[in-house]
Copies of this chain bind each other. A is one copy, B any other.
Amino acid sequence: MEKLYVVKIGGNIIDDEAKLASFLKNFSSIFGASSSSRGRAILVHGGGKLATRVAEAMGIQQQMIDGRRVTDAGTLKVVTMVYAGFINKSIVAQLQARDCNAIGLTGADGNVIQAHKRIHPTIDYGFVGDVDAVNAGLLNSLLQQNIAVVLAPITHNNEGQLLNTNADTIAQETAKAMSALYETELIYSFEKAGVLLDVDDEASVIKEINPSSYTKLKEENRIFAGMIPKLDNAFQAVGSGVSKVIIGKAEQLQQLIDGSAGTAIINQ
């Protein structure tokens, strides 16, 4: 089976022009035409602060519940403009300039990611999507043409409604779907060097976590509580066909791939 990397980058990279350019340079050297290994990759990007700035300029009030943006019709318009328009196309243009052929898509394009509007007993998140299905066939046809796919965190419900969708979830569901066709590794980039035993010490990265060591670490309260949902998701991915989840700094992409940095979550 060929290898595929699904790489998720978040707002901390998107918001910093120099960091983003440096990341895309590394990404291109690994996945572009000049790479000797010429791996295949899907890049999933989050949103960043530009959407908030544009919404403010347009007089659209932002409401957050549990760290998630409540997406009313005006906010959906803004995030579609910013995520699918400006951020996605800026990334694609920069990759092209570095000889890494890339194509930027939302979930609506080629019906790549179908979702439904989130159903919640008490909170109406607005036009927020939870993923139902990933169209691995179309993604595969692009990857096989040596094209890196750049996914914006916007999906659709196949009934004409675009939906704002969490980029971590898109990365995870995409990696799971692609694992039927590729030996798929999922890389979550993040502010820290990996899962740390001591949150204040970047040198305390745990190199590898498997289900039994995870149980033990949790029993001993050695995992920072904020990491537990991320790790639960990672174990869900490796339990659903993804061969490995790697958590670490986007700045260390090559090292995350070759195993010399970050935390690897494995299923054995």
In the assembled complex, the CB of A86 is this many whole angstroms from the nearest CB of chain B, namely 5
* A103 with B92: CB separation less than 8 A: no
User: Does residue A58 face the partner (Cβ distance < 8 Å to B)?
Assistant: yes
Instruction: Tell me whether A89 and B162 are in contact in the complex, defined as CB-CB below 8 angstroms, given that A81-B54, A102-B109 are known contacts.
Output: yes
* A108 with B96: CB separation less than 8 A: yes
User: Does residue A141 face the partner (Cβ distance < 8 Å to B)?
Assistant: yes
Known: A81-B82, A92-B106. 5 other contacts (CB 8 A): A83-B85, A84-B85, A84-B86, A96-B158, A110-B142
Contact of A109 among B57, B92, B159 (CB under 8 A): B92
Instruction: Tell me whether A97 and B54 are in contact in the complex, defined as CB-CB below 8 angstroms, given that A85-B81, A86-B81, A105-B103 are known contacts.
Output: no
* A96 with B81: CB separation less than 8 A: no
Point out which of A109, A154, A161 has the most chain B C-beta atoms below 10 A from its C-beta.
A109
Name the B residues within 8 Å of A77 (CB-CB).
86
In the assembled complex, the CB of A111 is this many whole angstroms from the nearest CB of chain B, namely 6
User: Does residue A90 face the partner (Cβ distance < 8 Å to B)?
Assistant: yes
Count of this chain's copies in the oligomeric assembly:
2
User: Does residue A165 face the partner (Cβ distance < 8 Å to B)?
Assistant: no
Determine the distance from Cα of A138 to Cα of B84 in the docked complex, in whole angstroms. Answer: 20
Instruction: Tell me whether A93 and B161 are in contact in the complex, defined as CB-CB below 8 angstroms, given that A77-B86, A86-B85, A102-B109 are known contacts.
Output: yes
In the assembled complex, the CB of A75 is this many whole angstroms from the nearest CB of chain B, namely 12
Determine the residue in chain B with the shortest Cβ distance to A137. Answer: B145
Determine the distance from Cα of A3 to Cα of B94 in the docked complex, in whole angstroms. Answer: 34
Name the B residues within 8 Å of A160 (CB-CB).
93-94, 96-97
Name the B residues within 8 Å of A57 (CB-CB).
57-59
* A110 with B162: CB separation less than 8 A: no
User: Does residue A4 face the partner (Cβ distance < 8 Å to B)?
Assistant: no
Determine the distance from Cα of A142 to Cα of B139 in the docked complex, in whole angstroms. Answer: 11
Determine the residue in chain B with the shortest Cβ distance to A135. Answer: B101
Determine the residue in chain B with the shortest Cβ distance to A155. Answer: B93
